[in-house]
Amino acid sequence: MDTSVSANTKTLKVALLGAGNVGSQVARILLTDASALAARTGARLELVGIAVRNVDAPREVEIPRELFTTDASALIRKADIVIELMGGLEPARTLILEAIEHGATVVTGNKALLAVDGPTLYEKADAAGVQLSYEAAVAGAIPILRPITDSLAGDKITRVMGIVNGTTNFILDAMDSTGAEFADALAEATRLGYAEADPTADVEGHDAAAKGAILASLAFHTRFALEDVHCEGITGVSAGDIAAAKEAGYVIKLLAIAEKISVPTGGQNNDDGGTFTTGVSVRVHPTLIPREHPLGAVRGAYNAVFVEAESAGELMFYGRGAGGSPTASAVMGDVVSAARRLVLGGPGRSDSTIEVLPVLGIDAVKTRYYIGMDAADQPGVLSKISALFAENGVSIETMRQTVHRERDASENGSAASAELRIVTHRASEAALAATVEAINGLDIINSVTSVLRVEGV
């Protein structure tokens, strides 16, 4: 006997905007798991309609045709809970605002919209006392936003490092395991359906930056937007970089890193014992991490988020970062949580913005660096290079040299070049940039082949 639904069970009307990969899986769960959802929430979740552009488009899930409509605004006016899974900025933004104005709880997975215009949506939701939830916007199925906002609410998060883009992780992992160049690994990712026809948002790091802004906002109780994130993609990572990193015990990952840091108020190079400013740096860039680091083990298109908190220490959250069913799982978590609150009553809970910390640019960050360079193999080269590091206050941790001897037409019949790979201790961006510029000016240097940041050591 189904004891979950009685004559007194409240009904909550649910409107779905979008029936793509994720939307159709959300519809499937709402339609097939109705009694389990009622038992978990104390309310009957009635899917009252699905707004789509084309009612007749083919869909993976069988959904009764009468649920489809092209009139999203009319559907929103009927709903207690609106699930926005259309993606893109418009009409998603306007429809979410309509839902908030109507007093409906909103669940969305639209990280691009939240990164660009989140503050407007959060403020409107706060003012209307409605809940806006978006667990699916970061790292697909992985429960990460609720652990940050609820489970770790009594702790102080100091740093979040995430592999939050599956496409780039697939590409970098393929380069690492096969030795392929970026273009070939991207072609394989496209062939297998991981990369979009236009992969720009993924490979240039924009998608990871949008997710980084959301993670930083929740971890540090301050609202950060996309423009606050320093962003570098993976298009410049070469097979040579990957091979050199591998040889030195590292793997290259595209990381979104958000961390709370204190810097001398006069700037990173003005460490005169004066006052300090505490702020948050949010950055996305290819990063060398030790192969034994938990993030180093994240293969293929999987995502993972590594959180460091004062009392909890280190935590890692791992799982599928994309795909219809996995992302629908995160959406439904928000829907169930919203339904439970609606059953109990009370206003929506807004994200905490108690800190209002300043955004610190990449110049404020001190990290370790990996520098690859191609130099002449002759007496005095190492001393000239190490002198430049010393002059700029950058301390070398390890230096490796591989000599390549090639036969040529010169007098002694051969020419030698040295491939140098240097890992530094922590240094500021400015000190590192000055060092690299000076090295590039040496006549014994053929080229600086790569400059990458190193984390997780």
Q: Which residues bind ligand HSE (CB under 6 A)?
A: 165-167, 202, 207, 321-322
- Shortest distance, position 198 Cβ to ligand HSE, whole Å: 11
Query: What's the distance, CA 214 to chain centroid?
Result: 9
Can you name the residues that pair with 107 across neighbouring β-strands?
A: 83, 133
When the beta carbons of 84 and 202 are compared against ligand HSE, the nearer one is: 202
Q: Verify cis geometry, omega within 30 degrees of 0, for the bond prior to 379.
A: no
Residue 292's contacts (CB-CB under 8 Å, 6 or more residues apart) are: none
Q: In terms of C-beta density within 10 A (0-12 exposed, 13-18 middle, 19 or more buried), how is residue 239 classed?
A: middle
User: In which element (H, E) is residue 424 found?
Assistant: strand 414-424
Question: How many Cβ atoms from other residues are within 10 Å of residue 278's Cβ?
Answer: 12
- Shortest distance, position 389 Cβ to ligand HSE, whole Å: 37
**Rounded CA separation 129/345 (Å):** 12
Token reading at 199: 């992969």
Whether residue 137 contacts residue 108, with contact meaning beta carbons closer than 8 Å, is answered with: yes
User: In which element (H, E) is residue 335 found?
Assistant: helix 324-344
**Rounded CA separation 202/234 (Å):** 9
- Shortest distance, position 199 Cβ to ligand HSE, whole Å: 9
Q: What is the DSSP letter of 273?
A: S
**Rounded CA separation 52/57 (Å):** 9
Q: Is 211 designated active site?
A: yes
3-state secondary structure of 455: coil
When the beta carbons of 48 and 186 are compared against ligand HSE, the nearer one is: 186
Residue tagged active-site, from 111, 211, 253, 260: 211
- Shortest distance, position 165 Cβ to ligand HSE, whole Å: 4
- Shortest distance, position 322 Cβ to ligand HSE, whole Å: 4
Kindly list the catalytic residues. Answer: 211
